[in-house]
Chains A and B, each alone.
Chain A
Amino acid sequence: MPGMAKPPPPPALTHQLADPIPIPPPKPFQPRLRHPSSRKTIYDRNLSRTQTTPTSLPAFAYLFHALITHHHSLSGSVSDIETRLNRAGYPLGIKLLDLLLYRQQTASQRPATRPTRIVELLQFIHTTLWRALWGRTADALEQSTTKRNEYMIVDNEPVVNTYISIPREMSQLNCAAFVAGIVEGVCDAAGFGMEGVTAHWASAQGEAKGEGKEVEEMWPGKTIFLLRFSEEAVGREEAIKANGG
Protein backbone atom coordinates (compact mmCIF):
# COMPACT_ATOMS: atom_id res chain seq x y z
CA MET A 1 0.00 0.00 0.00
CA PRO A 2 1.43 3.45 -0.76
CA GLY A 3 2.73 5.41 2.12
CA MET A 4 3.73 2.42 4.14
CA ALA A 5 7.41 2.11 4.93
CA LYS A 6 9.20 -1.10 4.28
CA PRO A 7 9.50 -3.19 7.43
CA PRO A 8 12.90 -2.72 9.06
CA PRO A 9 15.43 -5.47 8.46
CA PRO A 10 15.66 -7.95 11.31
CA PRO A 11 18.20 -6.77 13.85
CA ALA A 12 21.58 -8.44 13.91
CA LEU A 13 22.58 -10.22 17.02
CA THR A 14 24.84 -7.47 18.17
CA HIS A 15 22.25 -4.78 17.59
CA GLN A 16 20.94 -3.13 20.73
CA LEU A 17 17.19 -3.07 21.01
CA ALA A 18 16.07 0.51 21.30
CA ASP A 19 12.68 -0.20 22.87
CA PRO A 20 11.76 2.14 25.65
CA ILE A 21 9.89 -0.63 27.44
CA PRO A 22 12.19 -3.43 28.55
CA ILE A 23 10.92 -6.97 28.12
CA PRO A 24 10.07 -8.40 31.53
CA PRO A 25 12.00 -11.45 32.68
CA PRO A 26 10.23 -14.77 32.15
CA LYS A 27 7.77 -15.59 34.90
CA PRO A 28 8.55 -18.55 37.14
CA PHE A 29 6.52 -21.69 36.60
CA GLN A 30 3.18 -21.59 38.34
CA PRO A 31 1.11 -24.68 38.92
CA ARG A 32 -2.17 -24.85 37.03
CA LEU A 33 -4.34 -25.13 40.09
CA ARG A 34 -5.46 -21.66 40.97
CA HIS A 35 -6.59 -20.74 44.42
CA PRO A 36 -8.91 -17.87 45.16
CA SER A 37 -7.33 -15.13 47.18
CA SER A 38 -8.83 -16.51 50.34
CA ARG A 39 -6.83 -19.77 49.84
CA LYS A 40 -10.01 -21.78 50.21
CA THR A 41 -10.62 -24.58 47.76
CA ILE A 42 -13.79 -26.55 47.20
CA TYR A 43 -12.48 -29.01 49.74
CA ASP A 44 -12.89 -26.45 52.48
CA ARG A 45 -16.59 -25.93 52.02
CA ASN A 46 -19.04 -27.50 54.36
CA LEU A 47 -21.17 -30.30 53.01
CA SER A 48 -24.13 -29.75 55.27
CA ARG A 49 -26.22 -26.72 54.77
CA THR A 50 -25.38 -24.40 57.60
CA GLN A 51 -28.00 -21.75 56.97
CA THR A 52 -31.48 -22.36 55.74
CA THR A 53 -32.02 -19.35 53.50
CA PRO A 54 -33.66 -20.78 50.43
CA THR A 55 -32.12 -20.30 47.00
CA SER A 56 -33.78 -17.71 44.87
CA LEU A 57 -36.59 -19.01 42.67
CA PRO A 58 -36.37 -16.17 40.12
CA ALA A 59 -32.68 -16.88 39.65
CA PHE A 60 -33.38 -20.53 39.02
CA ALA A 61 -36.30 -19.70 36.74
CA TYR A 62 -34.11 -17.41 34.70
CA LEU A 63 -31.45 -20.06 34.34
CA PHE A 64 -33.99 -22.74 33.51
CA HIS A 65 -35.61 -20.54 30.91
CA ALA A 66 -32.24 -19.92 29.30
CA LEU A 67 -31.59 -23.68 29.27
CA ILE A 68 -34.89 -24.43 27.56
CA THR A 69 -34.40 -21.69 25.02
CA HIS A 70 -30.96 -23.00 24.23
CA HIS A 71 -32.21 -26.52 23.65
CA HIS A 72 -35.19 -25.30 21.72
CA SER A 73 -32.96 -23.40 19.37
CA LEU A 74 -30.87 -26.47 18.72
CA SER A 75 -33.74 -28.81 18.00
CA GLY A 76 -37.38 -28.31 17.29
CA SER A 77 -39.24 -31.44 18.17
CA VAL A 78 -40.87 -31.97 21.52
CA SER A 79 -39.37 -35.35 22.27
CA ASP A 80 -35.93 -34.08 21.35
CA ILE A 81 -36.15 -31.19 23.79
CA GLU A 82 -37.40 -33.53 26.48
CA THR A 83 -34.47 -35.86 25.90
CA ARG A 84 -32.03 -33.00 26.10
CA LEU A 85 -33.54 -31.72 29.34
CA ASN A 86 -33.43 -35.23 30.70
CA ARG A 87 -29.74 -35.55 29.90
CA ALA A 88 -29.09 -32.15 31.45
CA GLY A 89 -30.52 -33.25 34.77
CA TYR A 90 -28.83 -36.64 34.86
CA PRO A 91 -25.47 -35.68 36.40
CA LEU A 92 -27.28 -33.76 39.11
CA GLY A 93 -28.99 -36.93 40.22
CA ILE A 94 -25.76 -38.84 40.58
CA LYS A 95 -24.23 -36.23 42.86
CA LEU A 96 -27.39 -35.62 44.84
CA LEU A 97 -27.70 -39.26 45.85
CA ASP A 98 -24.33 -39.27 47.59
CA LEU A 99 -24.79 -35.86 49.10
CA LEU A 100 -28.19 -36.66 50.54
CA LEU A 101 -26.99 -39.95 51.98
CA TYR A 102 -24.17 -38.10 53.67
CA ARG A 103 -26.45 -35.40 55.06
CA GLN A 104 -28.80 -38.06 56.40
CA GLN A 105 -25.85 -39.57 58.17
CA THR A 106 -24.68 -36.36 59.81
CA ALA A 107 -28.17 -35.34 60.79
CA SER A 108 -29.21 -38.55 62.47
CA GLN A 109 -25.84 -39.72 63.81
CA ARG A 110 -26.59 -43.18 62.51
CA PRO A 111 -24.55 -44.50 59.63
CA ALA A 112 -26.29 -44.02 56.32
CA THR A 113 -27.85 -46.94 54.52
CA ARG A 114 -27.94 -47.39 50.81
CA PRO A 115 -31.28 -48.22 49.26
CA THR A 116 -31.00 -51.80 48.01
CA ARG A 117 -34.65 -52.47 47.20
CA ILE A 118 -36.87 -50.67 44.76
CA VAL A 119 -39.37 -49.65 47.43
CA GLU A 120 -36.66 -48.07 49.56
CA LEU A 121 -35.27 -46.23 46.59
CA LEU A 122 -38.69 -44.89 45.71
CA GLN A 123 -39.31 -43.80 49.28
CA PHE A 124 -35.96 -42.07 49.24
CA ILE A 125 -36.85 -40.19 46.07
CA HIS A 126 -40.36 -39.42 47.20
CA THR A 127 -39.35 -37.91 50.53
CA THR A 128 -35.68 -37.08 50.89
CA LEU A 129 -34.91 -36.01 47.35
CA TRP A 130 -38.05 -33.98 46.87
CA ARG A 131 -37.63 -32.33 50.24
CA ALA A 132 -34.04 -31.44 49.52
CA LEU A 133 -34.96 -29.94 46.19
CA TRP A 134 -38.21 -28.16 46.96
CA GLY A 135 -38.85 -28.36 50.67
CA ARG A 136 -41.87 -30.65 50.41
CA THR A 137 -42.48 -34.28 49.64
CA ALA A 138 -43.93 -35.47 46.37
CA ASP A 139 -47.65 -35.99 46.34
CA ALA A 140 -48.12 -39.62 45.49
CA LEU A 141 -46.20 -42.79 44.80
CA GLU A 142 -47.90 -45.52 42.81
CA GLN A 143 -47.08 -48.77 41.20
CA SER A 144 -48.50 -49.52 37.84
CA THR A 145 -51.03 -52.33 37.77
CA THR A 146 -50.38 -53.26 34.21
CA LYS A 147 -46.62 -53.51 34.10
CA ARG A 148 -44.31 -54.88 36.75
CA ASN A 149 -41.48 -52.50 36.20
CA GLU A 150 -43.34 -49.20 36.10
CA TYR A 151 -43.77 -46.87 39.02
CA MET A 152 -45.21 -43.40 39.14
CA ILE A 153 -44.43 -40.38 41.25
CA VAL A 154 -46.99 -37.62 41.11
CA ASP A 155 -46.27 -33.98 41.71
CA ASN A 156 -49.20 -31.62 41.71
CA GLU A 157 -47.24 -28.56 40.83
CA PRO A 158 -43.61 -28.95 39.88
CA VAL A 159 -41.67 -25.89 40.97
CA VAL A 160 -39.61 -25.88 37.80
CA ASN A 161 -42.71 -25.23 35.72
CA THR A 162 -43.73 -22.12 37.66
CA TYR A 163 -42.67 -19.54 35.15
CA ILE A 164 -42.70 -21.65 32.03
CA SER A 165 -45.57 -21.23 29.62
CA ILE A 166 -45.86 -23.62 26.72
CA PRO A 167 -47.22 -22.53 23.33
CA ARG A 168 -50.20 -24.49 22.11
CA GLU A 169 -48.38 -26.23 19.30
CA MET A 170 -45.98 -27.80 21.81
CA SER A 171 -48.47 -28.65 24.50
CA GLN A 172 -46.96 -32.11 24.86
CA LEU A 173 -43.77 -30.65 26.23
CA ASN A 174 -43.35 -30.89 29.95
CA CYS A 175 -40.25 -29.15 31.18
CA ALA A 176 -40.24 -31.28 34.26
CA ALA A 177 -38.25 -33.61 32.00
CA PHE A 178 -35.33 -31.92 33.72
CA VAL A 179 -36.50 -33.26 37.06
CA ALA A 180 -37.08 -36.63 35.40
CA GLY A 181 -33.40 -36.55 34.46
CA ILE A 182 -32.43 -35.93 38.07
CA VAL A 183 -34.56 -38.87 39.20
CA GLU A 184 -33.03 -41.08 36.55
CA GLY A 185 -29.56 -40.07 37.73
CA VAL A 186 -30.42 -41.01 41.31
CA CYS A 187 -31.77 -44.42 40.30
CA ASP A 188 -28.86 -45.20 38.02
CA ALA A 189 -26.31 -44.20 40.61
CA ALA A 190 -28.00 -46.42 43.17
CA GLY A 191 -27.44 -49.35 40.87
CA PHE A 192 -30.94 -49.79 39.44
CA GLY A 193 -30.77 -49.69 35.68
CA MET A 194 -33.53 -47.64 34.15
CA GLU A 195 -35.16 -47.74 30.80
CA GLY A 196 -36.12 -44.15 31.31
CA VAL A 197 -37.93 -41.65 33.46
CA THR A 198 -40.38 -39.43 31.68
CA ALA A 199 -42.64 -36.62 32.76
CA HIS A 200 -46.23 -36.49 31.59
CA TRP A 201 -49.07 -34.14 32.11
CA ALA A 202 -51.96 -35.66 33.98
CA SER A 203 -54.44 -34.48 31.40
CA ALA A 204 -58.02 -34.08 32.45
CA GLN A 205 -59.41 -36.10 29.60
CA GLY A 206 -56.96 -38.92 30.21
CA GLU A 207 -57.79 -40.46 33.52
CA ALA A 208 -60.36 -38.40 35.29
CA LYS A 209 -63.88 -39.56 35.81
CA GLY A 210 -66.38 -37.99 38.13
CA GLU A 211 -64.80 -36.10 40.96
CA GLY A 212 -61.36 -36.73 39.52
CA LYS A 213 -62.10 -34.05 36.96
CA GLU A 214 -62.31 -31.36 39.57
CA VAL A 215 -59.05 -32.50 41.04
CA GLU A 216 -57.29 -32.14 37.73
CA GLU A 217 -58.64 -28.66 37.27
CA MET A 218 -57.45 -27.74 40.71
CA TRP A 219 -53.94 -28.72 39.69
CA PRO A 220 -53.56 -27.89 36.03
CA GLY A 221 -49.85 -28.47 36.19
CA LYS A 222 -50.08 -31.91 37.71
CA THR A 223 -47.21 -33.99 36.48
CA ILE A 224 -46.69 -37.70 36.62
CA PHE A 225 -43.15 -39.06 36.51
CA LEU A 226 -43.12 -42.51 35.04
CA LEU A 227 -40.14 -44.60 36.17
CA ARG A 228 -39.46 -47.67 34.09
CA PHE A 229 -36.94 -50.02 35.64
CA SER A 230 -34.91 -52.32 33.47
CA GLU A 231 -35.42 -56.07 33.41
CA GLU A 232 -32.27 -56.81 35.33
CA ALA A 233 -33.21 -54.48 38.17
CA VAL A 234 -36.59 -56.13 38.49
CA GLY A 235 -35.03 -59.57 38.24
CA ARG A 236 -32.57 -58.77 40.98
CA GLU A 237 -35.38 -57.46 43.14
CA GLU A 238 -37.25 -60.72 42.72
CA ALA A 239 -34.14 -62.71 43.54
CA ILE A 240 -33.58 -60.77 46.75
CA LYS A 241 -37.19 -61.23 47.70
CA ALA A 242 -36.98 -64.93 47.00
CA ASN A 243 -33.95 -65.22 49.25
CA GLY A 244 -35.83 -63.74 52.10
CA GLY A 245 -34.93 -60.09 51.47
Chain B
Amino acid sequence: MSYHLSIIGTLDNPLFELSFGSSKQGGDGVAKFRPEALYMNQFLVHAALDLVEEVQWVSKDLYLKRIDSHQNNHIHCFLTGGNVKFMLLMNPDPQATTYSAYPTTPASRPGTQAGGRQSGGATGTTGAGGMLAANPTSQGTEEAVRAFMNEVYETWLKCIMNPFYTANQVVTSPVFRSRVLAAGRKYL
Protein backbone atom coordinates (compact mmCIF):
# COMPACT_ATOMS: atom_id res chain seq x y z
CA MET B 1 0.00 0.00 0.00
CA SER B 2 1.72 3.12 -1.16
CA TYR B 3 0.80 6.70 -0.63
CA HIS B 4 1.69 9.94 -2.25
CA LEU B 5 0.84 13.12 -0.41
CA SER B 6 0.91 16.44 -2.23
CA ILE B 7 0.10 19.83 -0.83
CA ILE B 8 -1.21 22.10 -3.55
CA GLY B 9 -1.27 25.86 -3.07
CA THR B 10 -3.82 28.37 -4.19
CA LEU B 11 -2.26 28.76 -7.63
CA ASP B 12 -2.39 25.00 -8.26
CA ASN B 13 1.32 24.82 -7.53
CA PRO B 14 2.68 21.94 -5.48
CA LEU B 15 4.18 23.08 -2.21
CA PHE B 16 5.17 19.74 -0.79
CA GLU B 17 5.28 16.17 -2.05
CA LEU B 18 6.04 12.97 -0.26
CA SER B 19 5.78 9.31 -1.18
CA PHE B 20 5.66 6.73 1.51
CA GLY B 21 4.33 3.28 2.15
CA SER B 22 2.25 1.71 4.81
CA SER B 23 3.91 0.71 8.04
CA LYS B 24 1.14 -1.55 9.19
CA GLN B 25 1.28 -5.30 9.05
CA GLY B 26 4.95 -5.54 8.42
CA GLY B 27 5.19 -2.88 5.77
CA ASP B 28 8.47 -1.11 5.78
CA GLY B 29 7.18 2.37 5.15
CA VAL B 30 8.70 2.68 1.71
CA ALA B 31 6.61 3.45 -1.33
CA LYS B 32 6.58 0.79 -3.96
CA PHE B 33 5.44 2.68 -6.99
CA ARG B 34 6.40 1.80 -10.50
CA PRO B 35 8.76 4.14 -12.31
CA GLU B 36 5.93 5.65 -14.37
CA ALA B 37 4.27 6.66 -11.15
CA LEU B 38 6.77 9.43 -10.74
CA TYR B 39 4.93 11.60 -13.19
CA MET B 40 1.62 9.78 -13.33
CA ASN B 41 0.93 10.48 -9.68
CA GLN B 42 1.30 14.15 -10.23
CA PHE B 43 -0.88 13.95 -13.31
CA LEU B 44 -3.67 12.16 -11.48
CA VAL B 45 -3.56 14.54 -8.57
CA HIS B 46 -3.67 17.51 -10.89
CA ALA B 47 -6.64 16.09 -12.74
CA ALA B 48 -8.44 15.57 -9.45
CA LEU B 49 -8.12 19.26 -8.60
CA ASP B 50 -11.06 19.97 -10.89
CA LEU B 51 -13.26 17.71 -8.83
CA VAL B 52 -12.13 19.43 -5.67
CA GLU B 53 -13.24 22.75 -7.02
CA GLU B 54 -16.65 21.35 -7.86
CA VAL B 55 -17.23 20.06 -4.38
CA GLN B 56 -15.63 22.99 -2.66
CA TRP B 57 -18.59 25.33 -2.69
CA VAL B 58 -21.18 22.72 -1.96
CA SER B 59 -19.75 21.23 1.18
CA LYS B 60 -18.70 23.15 4.26
CA ASP B 61 -16.39 20.49 5.61
CA LEU B 62 -12.66 20.63 5.54
CA TYR B 63 -12.25 16.94 4.79
CA LEU B 64 -13.71 16.09 1.40
CA LYS B 65 -13.17 12.33 1.53
CA ARG B 66 -12.48 10.31 -1.55
CA ILE B 67 -13.03 12.36 -4.61
CA ASP B 68 -11.54 10.38 -7.43
CA SER B 69 -10.43 6.93 -8.44
CA HIS B 70 -8.44 5.89 -11.42
CA GLN B 71 -7.67 2.22 -11.96
CA ASN B 72 -6.17 1.33 -8.64
CA ASN B 73 -5.50 4.81 -7.37
CA HIS B 74 -7.81 6.55 -4.94
CA ILE B 75 -7.46 10.20 -4.16
CA HIS B 76 -8.60 11.77 -0.91
CA CYS B 77 -8.62 15.47 -0.35
CA PHE B 78 -8.53 17.78 2.62
CA LEU B 79 -9.14 21.45 2.08
CA THR B 80 -7.80 24.01 4.50
CA GLY B 81 -9.47 27.30 5.27
CA GLY B 82 -6.93 29.10 3.15
CA ASN B 83 -7.78 27.11 0.02
CA VAL B 84 -4.72 24.88 0.23
CA LYS B 85 -5.40 21.28 -0.73
CA PHE B 86 -3.83 18.20 0.79
CA MET B 87 -4.23 15.43 -1.76
CA LEU B 88 -3.46 11.90 -0.71
CA LEU B 89 -3.17 9.37 -3.48
CA MET B 90 -3.32 5.80 -2.27
CA ASN B 91 -2.68 2.71 -4.25
CA PRO B 92 -3.19 -0.68 -2.63
CA ASP B 93 -1.28 -2.53 -5.28
CA PRO B 94 1.14 -0.30 -7.10
CA GLN B 95 2.92 -2.99 -8.99
CA ALA B 96 -0.21 -4.13 -10.71
CA THR B 97 -1.32 -0.71 -11.80
CA THR B 98 -0.70 -0.15 -15.45
CA TYR B 99 -1.36 3.39 -16.46
CA SER B 100 -1.64 2.82 -20.16
CA ALA B 101 -4.19 0.82 -22.07
CA TYR B 102 -1.54 -1.50 -23.42
CA PRO B 103 0.24 -3.98 -21.21
CA THR B 104 3.66 -2.63 -20.50
CA THR B 105 6.67 -4.31 -18.92
CA PRO B 106 5.74 -6.69 -16.14
CA ALA B 107 6.15 -5.67 -12.57
CA SER B 108 9.79 -4.91 -12.07
CA ARG B 109 10.04 -6.29 -8.57
CA PRO B 110 8.07 -9.49 -8.29
CA GLY B 111 9.39 -10.18 -4.85
CA THR B 112 7.60 -7.34 -3.13
CA GLN B 113 4.54 -9.16 -2.02
CA ALA B 114 4.81 -7.75 1.46
CA GLY B 115 3.42 -4.41 2.43
CA GLY B 116 -0.24 -3.89 2.97
CA ARG B 117 -1.51 -6.88 1.05
CA GLN B 118 -4.42 -8.58 2.57
CA SER B 119 -2.97 -12.06 2.20
CA GLY B 120 -1.20 -13.61 5.12
CA GLY B 121 -3.55 -14.64 7.83
CA ALA B 122 -3.52 -11.47 9.86
CA THR B 123 -6.89 -12.21 11.27
CA GLY B 124 -6.38 -10.33 14.50
CA THR B 125 -7.98 -6.94 14.53
CA THR B 126 -5.32 -4.33 14.34
CA GLY B 127 -7.46 -1.29 14.78
CA ALA B 128 -9.00 0.97 12.22
CA GLY B 129 -6.02 1.11 9.95
CA GLY B 130 -5.31 -2.57 9.85
CA MET B 131 -6.90 -3.68 6.66
CA LEU B 132 -6.57 -0.56 4.59
CA ALA B 133 -5.40 -2.33 1.51
CA ALA B 134 -8.14 -4.89 1.73
CA ASN B 135 -10.94 -2.45 1.14
CA PRO B 136 -9.70 0.97 0.22
CA THR B 137 -13.15 2.47 0.01
CA SER B 138 -14.42 1.44 3.38
CA GLN B 139 -15.40 3.65 6.24
CA GLY B 140 -12.39 2.52 8.25
CA THR B 141 -10.08 3.79 5.57
CA GLU B 142 -11.84 7.13 5.54
CA GLU B 143 -11.44 7.47 9.27
CA ALA B 144 -7.78 6.60 9.11
CA VAL B 145 -7.16 9.08 6.34
CA ARG B 146 -9.18 11.73 8.17
CA ALA B 147 -7.06 11.31 11.28
CA PHE B 148 -3.92 11.48 9.18
CA MET B 149 -5.14 14.63 7.46
CA ASN B 150 -5.89 16.30 10.78
CA GLU B 151 -2.36 15.66 11.93
CA VAL B 152 -0.94 17.05 8.74
CA TYR B 153 -3.27 20.04 9.10
CA GLU B 154 -1.90 20.83 12.54
CA THR B 155 1.65 20.57 11.32
CA TRP B 156 0.75 22.72 8.32
CA LEU B 157 -0.71 25.40 10.58
CA LYS B 158 2.48 25.55 12.56
CA CYS B 159 4.38 25.85 9.31
CA ILE B 160 2.38 28.79 7.97
CA MET B 161 2.40 30.64 11.27
CA ASN B 162 6.08 31.18 10.63
CA PRO B 163 6.26 34.94 9.98
CA PHE B 164 8.83 34.36 7.28
CA TYR B 165 6.58 32.03 5.35
CA THR B 166 4.91 33.86 2.49
CA ALA B 167 1.83 32.48 0.83
CA ASN B 168 2.36 29.78 -1.80
CA GLN B 169 5.94 29.21 -0.88
CA VAL B 170 7.46 25.76 -1.18
CA VAL B 171 7.84 23.97 2.14
CA THR B 172 11.37 22.76 2.64
CA SER B 173 11.59 22.18 6.35
CA PRO B 174 12.96 18.76 7.29
CA VAL B 175 11.02 18.93 10.54
CA PHE B 176 7.77 19.26 8.63
CA ARG B 177 8.73 16.29 6.50
CA SER B 178 9.54 14.13 9.49
CA ARG B 179 6.29 15.07 11.18
CA VAL B 180 4.28 14.09 8.13
CA LEU B 181 6.16 10.80 7.93
CA ALA B 182 5.47 10.15 11.60
CA ALA B 183 1.77 10.83 11.09
CA GLY B 184 1.78 8.47 8.14
CA ARG B 185 3.38 5.79 10.23
CA LYS B 186 0.84 6.27 12.96
CA TYR B 187 -2.36 6.24 10.96
CA LEU B 188 -1.80 4.72 7.58
Contact = CB atoms under 8 A, between A and B. Distances in A.
B9 to A, nearest CB: 11
Q: Which of A43, A102, A190, A240 has the most CB of B within 10 A?
A: A43
Q: Range of interface residues on chain A?
A: 20 to 34
B81 A189 contact: yes
B36 interface: no
Given A43-B159, A91-B166, A111 B62 contact: yes
Contacts of A189: 10, 81-83
B79 interface: yes
B57 A236 contact: yes
B109 interface: no
A99 interface: yes
Contacts of B101: none
Nearest to A100: B81
A33 B175 contact: yes
Counting chain B residues whose Cβ lies within 8 A of the other chain, the interface size class is 20 to 34
B35 to A, nearest CB: 30
A180 to B, nearest CB: 18
A47 interface: yes
A43 B81 contact: no
B42 interface: no
Contact of A102 (B56, B61, B157): B157
B82 A116 contact: no
A43 B155 contact: yes
B60 A114 contact: yes
Interface in B62-103: 62-63, 79-83
B63 A111 contact: yes
Contacts of B56: 116, 191
Given A47-B161, A112-B62, 7 more contacts: A47-B157, A98-B81, A102-B154, A114-B81, A116-B58, A190-B82, A236-B57
Interface of A: 31, 33, 41-43, 45, 47, 91, 94-95, 97-99, 101-102, 111-116, 189-191, 236, 240
22 contacts: A31-B174, A42-B159, A42-B161, A42-B162, A43-B155, A43-B159, A43-B173, A47-B161, A91-B166, A91-B167, A97-B82, A98-B157, A99-B157, A101-B62, A101-B81, A102-B153, A111-B62, A112-B62, A112-B81, A113-B60, A190-B83, A236-B57
